[in-house]
């Protein structure tokens, strides 16, 4: 029997978000994967996440060794983006608890442009190395230089954010 209660545990949403990340880009850097998925959980929690002030361009290097704590980085980045509505109507679990604890997703406008830009970068790399995206080994998807690629994409997006 599954004892995971999604009304009090955002793990299912966290894991679902990883599927989006994997579907968009080939990068498997922990500060990006775990940190961003942990940031995404904030919409399922009533409290506000920890945040730090960041000015563009951001220096990502201190975050490369992070995992779930990378959420602090992503929260700092998303502070440059607008909030988006969470849903068009109320959604509840079978026990009538709300699925979303907030009506707006702070900085949520960052997610789609970032995932799209990372997808485009992944496509460029697959063309450069003449290797289809789904044929990259786990080792190739964890390359240290991809940290800099992700950071460059973040900074490119931040430079175009009003």
Nearest to 100 by CA among 113, 83, 79: 83
Reported as a single tens digit per residue, the pLDDT across 14-43 is 999 999 999 999 899 999 999 999 999 988
Q: What is the pTM of this model?
A: 0.87
Averaged pLDDT for residues 83-99: 82
Using the predicted structure, report yes or no on whether residue 160 has a pLDDT greater than 50. Answer: yes
| Res. 45 pLDDT band, cuts 50 70 90 | confident
**Which tokens is 114 given?**
């970032």
């Amino acid at each position: 029997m599954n004892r995971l209660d999604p009304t009090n545990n955002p793990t299912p949403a966290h894991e679902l978000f990883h599927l989006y990340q994997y579907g968009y880009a080939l990068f498997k850097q922990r500060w990006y994967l775990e940190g961003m998925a942990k940031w995404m959980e904030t919409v399922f929690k009533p409290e506000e996440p920890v945040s730090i002030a960041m000015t563009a361009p951001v220096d990502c290097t201190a975050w490369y060794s992070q995992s779930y704590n990378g959420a602090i980085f992503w929260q700092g980045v998303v502070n440059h983006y607008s909030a988006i509505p969470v849903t068009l109507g109320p959604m509840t679990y079978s026990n009538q608890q709300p699925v979303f604890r907030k009506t707006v997703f702070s900085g949520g406008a960052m997610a789609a442009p970032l995932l799209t830009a990372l997808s485009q970068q992944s496509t460029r790399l697959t063309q450069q190395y003449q290797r289809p995206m789904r044929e990259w080994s786990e080792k190739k998807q964890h390359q240290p230089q991809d940290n800099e690629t992700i950071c460059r994409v973040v900074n490119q997006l931040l430079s175009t954010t009003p």
